[in-house]
Amino acid sequence: DAGVIQSPRHEVTEMGQEVTLRCKPISGHNSLFWYRQTMMRGLELLIYFNNNVPIDDSGMPEDRFSAKMPNASFSTLKIQPSEPRDSAVYFCASSPGRSYEQYFGPGTRLTVT
């Protein structure tokens, strides 16, 4: 099993640019989560999907952030326009649902200058 796959692993962009982060969950998992991790705020849940449907997006910071899950094997997190305070490591995780344990990807380190 390849585990959760995220791309890109690193992204450096200028303020105002659009950023798209991608995630492929583990095959057969029916839930997908997007988190953001910073030193100041720790690990924050941004949004999660169950069976491709967004269930809770209360953690999405503002309208500049959007997430989609068009099918069971792919999800995107988009930031438009990006700002320096969006700099963080963004993790995607998936869960098979049995005991709600989550399997994390390696993360995307985003730097907005």
Partner 1 sequence: GEDVEQSLFLSVREGDSSVINCTYTDSSSTYLYWYKQEPGAGLQLLTYIFSNMDMKQDQRLTVLLNKKDKHLSLRIADTQTGDSAIYFCAESRGGGFKTIFGAGTRLFVKA
Contacting residues toward partner 1, per CB under 8 A: 4, 31, 33, 42-43, 45, 48, 50, 55-56, 91, 93, 95, 97, 99-107
Work out how close the CB of 16 gets to partner 1 at its nearest, in angstroms, rounded to a whole number.
Answer: 28
Work out how close the CB of 15 gets to partner 1 at its nearest, in angstroms, rounded to a whole number.
Answer: 25
**Smaller CB distance to partner 1: residue 10 or 85?**
10
Element at 5 (helix H, strand E): strand 5-7
Q: How far is CA 87 from CA 2, 20, 36, in A?
A: 27, 13, 9
**Smaller CB distance to partner 1: residue 31 or 75?**
31
**Smaller CB distance to partner 1: residue 75 or 95?**
95
Around Cβ 101, how many Cβ atoms within 10 Å?
9
